[in-house]
Amino acid sequence: MGIILIVIGLGITFEGIELNQSLWANLQWIFLNFESASDFIVSFILLLFKAGFIAGGYFYIKYSSGVERARLDDKGFYYREIPKGSGMAKLGIDIEPLSFTPYSAISDISYKKSLWTGGQIIVTLDSGPIPLVALGVLKDDEKKEIVELVKTRGYPGRLD
């Protein structure tokens, strides 16, 4: 549902873009139109709707309690992975089952924070590192807690 709201907001935002128009005309269509007072008022109201759809979708996804992003049990670590392929496959990210990795297959797990990606959990398996992008909606404290729990449950790269 949240992804649908974001797509609607982006669709309304960019549906009037014309490649033959100037950059200024296209920016006025996306944000605020200053050609007349009535155009300004209409574009301001539309801007509020666009921002509302996009923000509403974001907060719906962020605070949705029915979406399971990660789970730990005695066998291993379950996590949500971004599907590979087209954009349509990525829209159904929450429909797919969680990916499972036993603790013995995890050679390293870490939490890294950067300006561009924010806080991110990176799991290193035999096949290579996997950034858990789908866990980006969790708070930084929750991500750090997941990393610590996986480390204490035991994996070969753990420091005792």
- Categorize the per-residue pLDDT at 92 as very low, low, confident or very high, splitting at 50, 70 and 90: low
For residue 74, pLDDT over 50 is answered with: yes
Q: How far, in Å, CA of 78 to CA of 76, rounded?
A: 7
Domains of the chain: which residue ranges?
Answer: 1-63, 66-154
Which tens digits make up the pLDDT trace of 114-142? 888 889 999 999 889 999 988 887 889 99
Residues in the chain: 160
Overall pTM surpassing 0.75 (yes/no): no
Mean pLDDT of the chain: 83
For the segment(s) 66-154, the CATH number from 2.30.29.30, 3.30.413.10, 3.30.450.40, 3.40.50.850 is: 2.30.29.30
pLDDT, tens digit, for every residue of 1-55? 777 888 888 888 888 788 888 888 888 888 888 888 998 898 899 899 999 999 9
CB atoms within 10 A of CB 17: 12
